[in-house]
Amino acid sequence: MKSSFEKIVGTDTPVLVDFYADWCGPCKMLAPILKEVKAQMGDALKIVKIDVDKNQRLAAEHQVRGVPTMMLFVKGKQVWRQSGVLQKQDIINIIESHG
Show which residues are catalytic: 24, 27
End-to-end CA distance of the chain: 27
What are the DSSP E strand ranges found in the chain?
15-20, 46-51, 69-74, 77-83
Cα distance between residue 30 and residue 15, in whole Å: 16
